[in-house]
Amino acid sequence: MSAKKWLMLFINLLGGGGVIGSYIWGFLTHPNAGQALWGGVPDSIRPFYTAGMFLAAAGYFAFTYFILFPLNPGETRVFSRFSFGFFNVLYAAILIPSALWMPLTEASPSETVTIRRVHELAEANPQVIAFLEEKKLMPGMQVSVEEILPFNQTISLSVEGQTVTLGFAIARMIFIEQSE
């Protein structure tokens, strides 16, 4: 196997392990959050989502198998321009953020986190963006989680000494990274 394929395998093992590890961490730190993981998806269509997730996983593994085994790195061109290394960059760009960033609703009380991204759906709503900007809940800001009330679906944060309370619907659109 070529060095580029070994790198691809390493990226998948490390990145995939990180993604799975982030799910395990979420389950261990939020043992009663099973239903919340569905994000409001109605019970009637959950089987379709589940089937879709398994199909997506099967497609990922089939595509990765094709890249790792039958494909010849020396002859590979993507868009007639890029070499095999394009796949390594693509996989790393997908797996690393998936392992490191999680929705704000997955944080634990008294944890300090850094906001890394606001979902496009929130950005499309001028009222939501104005609120987030006013409360200084923008990428790069460090916030402390004060309280999470699942029964009320709210999360309270400390942002530069001010308390801000968000509903889970908005908090799920804010992606965070644990601060060191």
pLDDT of residue 51: 95
pLDDT of residue 157: 97
Pick left, alpha or beta for residue 18 (phi over 0 → left; psi -120 to 50 → alpha; otherwise beta).
alpha
69 and 27 in a common domain: yes
Instruction: Give the strand order in the sheet containing 112-118.
Output: 102-103, 174-178, 112-118, 142-149, 154-159, 162-167
Last residue of a domain, one of 100, 121, 145: 100
* d(C-alpha 37, C-alpha 29), whole Å: 13
Last residue of a domain, one of 100, 133, 165: 100
| pLDDT tops 90 at residue 30 | no
* d(C-alpha 121, C-alpha 115), whole Å: 16
Q: At 126, which CATH number?
A: 2.30.30.90
In the Cβ-directed half-sphere of 31, how many Cα atoms lie within 13 Å?
1
Helix H segments across the chain? 3-29, 46-68, 85-100, 120-123, 126-134, 168-171
pLDDT of residue 175: 87
11 and 90 in a common domain: yes
CB 59 within 8 A of CB 66: no
| pLDDT tops 60 at residue 43 | yes
163 and 147 in a common domain: yes
| pLDDT tops 60 at residue 36 | no
86 and 40 in a common domain: yes
135 and 92 in a common domain: no
| pLDDT tops 90 at residue 17 | no
* d(C-alpha 51, C-alpha 23), whole Å: 19
pLDDT of residue 33: 58
Radius of gyration of the chain (CA): 19
pLDDT tens-digit map of 60-93: 999 999 999 999 999 999 999 999 999 999 999 8
Using pLDDT thresholds of 50, 70 and 90, give the confidence band for residue 15: confident
**Total domain count, the chain:** 2
Residue 118: in which H helix or E strand, if any? strand 112-118
- Please give the average per-residue pLDDT across 130-142, as a whole number: 93
69 and 17 in a common domain: yes
**Residue 70: domain span:** 3-100
Strands 174-178 and 154-159: unpaired
121 and 50 in a common domain: no
Strands 142-149 and 154-159: antiparallel
pLDDT tens-digit map of 84-135: 999 999 999 888 877 777 889 888 888 999 998 888 777 778 898 999 999 9
Using pLDDT thresholds of 50, 70 and 90, give the confidence band for residue 165: very high
pTM: 0.59
**Comparing C-alpha atoms, which of 122, 117, 120, 85 is closest to residue 100?**
117
Last residue of a domain, one of 84, 100, 116: 100
| pLDDT tops 80 at residue 22 | no
| pLDDT tops 70 at residue 32 | no
